[in-house]
Structure 1
Amino acid sequence: MDYVTHFHREVQSFEAAARRVAGEEAPDVPSCAGWTMSDLVLHLAGVHRVVTAVIEERRSGPVNPAELVAQLPSDTAGWPNPETAPSRGPLPPGLVDWFAEGAAVLEGVFATTDPALEVWTWSAERTAGFWSRMQVIEAAVHRWDAENALGEPQDMDADLAADAIRQTFEVMVPARRAFKPARPTAGETYRFVRTDGDGEWAVRFADEQVRLGDFPADVTVSGTASELMLFLWERIPADRLTVSGDTQVLDRYFELAPPI
């Protein structure tokens, strides 16, 4: 998959949504509880700078958040502060500029770096390629968040969404279970079926592990690739999808895979 092209499209669309309300009262972001658009822009801009530093400097450990504060533009008076979110007041146009600058730099890093380069990540996969895949997905989800805050969310690219579904079970769910308290596994098995193309994912929670495979399912969830991805990222409810089987098992999904 051409992650650079997908990243470019998603960050451009995110920037466009943010610029629509730059200088105006920052709207709440319903899908990111406790955040306004200012908080969302600052978050993604910060993440991009963290990843850029990790890859460019071949970091073997995480970036100290204090390094990001030092990178903020000199005039930071009145800018959003994630520690006091939600950040009310107008969305600073300069904050959107800062996001755009960082996104462009990271795009260039992804375009010129060997995906196999060994760098620090928070996952078992320690490569630059992990970051390009992860950041395309994060940009897409937050682009949807920004558009949703304006009442005009656009679907995910179908191919990217399908890749993100697999990445959810390969990377995100194990991380969620490691980072947050999660319900003990009891053999719960889910099947997610894509209705707008080829794609079917069966996942079993057993022995405190998360496994993709070919399993009989307790519950089957069907929808477009975009709908399935958005559900798995807790952006849309299950009633937007077609569900068959044991709905009580589906109700437990986010206890087994707690959102971060």
Structure 2
Amino acid sequence: MLEAIDVHADGLKRAALAAGPAAPVPNCPKWTVHDLVTHIAFVHCSVIGLAVDRPAKPEPPAAWEDVLGWWDGQRLALREALSRNPDAPWTRRMAHETAIHRLDAESALAQPVHTRFSPEFANDGIDEFLTFLLPHRGFAVGVRVTTPERTWTVGTPGTEVSGDADDVYRALYGRPNRAAVTGDRLPAL
């Protein structure tokens, strides 16, 4: 998962630089690329504090070039903090946080790229969503999720999501997808 953080942060940064700070982010309609990069840097900084048991109060800089530099520093510090205990849940969470926001940055490109996640990575992200994000955010939703590799059932299913792992992963995280969703609407993150 440490390598996944690096791969997806690099992809996010490439897309952010190509799109430019003022580009709107279609996957997150209220954000520009500048907002997106500030958000991911803020999250990385916060997790560093949690990983080393020194909670931080990040204060992002305002200027685009400064945000990029600040994020580069946070990425290095995050890697260092998480490498001390790579099996900690924060490593997994940051891999998926960064991967999903990579999709957001790529959606801001004039010619969006079509990144696809491996079934192994996407299924792990589905599991993270269902076992951590859904209960942590207080959503009381029953859902059955099916990919070719695995099926999850949470509560009494009022919603069913199925398809290849990449599309189901995207559907659960509220990103454009081709998954089949029936029943109640999934909560927005």
Same fold (TM over 0.5): yes
What are the residue-to-residue correspondences of 1:62-141 with 2, within 5 Å?
62-63=55-56, 67-69=57-59, 72=61, 76=62, 79=63, 92-113=64-85, 115=87, 129-141=88-100
1:146 deviates by: 0.5
CA distance in structure 1 between the partners assigned to 2:152 and 2:12 by the alignment? 29
Code of the aligned partner of 2:175: R
Match for residue 194 of structure 1?
147
Unpaired stretches in structure 1, ≥5 consecutive residues: 80-91, 116-128, 206-216
The alignment partner of 1:68 has SS state of: coil
TM value normalised by structure 1: 0.64
Unpaired stretches in structure 2, ≥5 consecutive residues: none
CA contact (8 A) 1:161 1:226 kept: yes
The alignment partner of 1:236 has SS state of: coil
Code of the aligned partner of 2:116: D
Q: 2:179 aligns with which of 241, 244, 251?
A: 241
Q: Does 1:221 align with 2:153?
A: no
- The one-character-per-residue Cα deviations of 1:127-180 (angstroms, maximum 9, x if unpaired) are xx121111111000000110112122412232111011111111111122x2xx
> RMSD between aligned alpha carbons?
2.3
Identity fraction in percent: 26
| Alignment CA distance shift 1:232-1:11 (3 Å) | same
Match for residue 16 of structure 1?
14
CA distance in structure 1 between the partners assigned to 2:11 and 2:132 by the alignment? 25
1:36 deviates by: 0.4
1:220 deviates by: 4.5
CA contact (8 A) 1:7 1:139 kept: yes
TM value normalised by structure 2: 0.86
Q: 1:29 aligns with which of 25, 40, 57?
A: 25
Q: Does 1:5 align with 2:9?
A: no
Larger Rg: 1
Match for residue 101 of structure 2?
142
CA contact (8 A) 1:15 1:100 kept: no
CA contact (8 A) 1:18 1:96 kept: no
Match for residue 209 of structure 1?
none
1:39 deviates by: 0.2
For this pair of structures, how many residues does the alignment match? 187
The 10-residue stretch of structure 1 (146-155 or 164-173) with the greater mean CA deviation from structure 2: 146-155
Code of the aligned partner of 1:8: D
Match for residue 136 of structure 2?
175
Match for residue 204 of structure 1?
155
Code of the aligned partner of 1:221: V
CA distance in structure 2 between the partners assigned to 1:104 and 1:157 by the alignment? 25
Code of the aligned partner of 2:46: V
| Alignment CA distance shift 1:224-1:94 (3 Å) | same
Code of the aligned partner of 1:156: F
Code of the aligned partner of 1:108: E
CA distance in structure 1 between the partners assigned to 2:143 and 2:36 by the alignment? 34
CA distance in structure 2 between the partners assigned to 1:202 and 1:146 by the alignment? 31
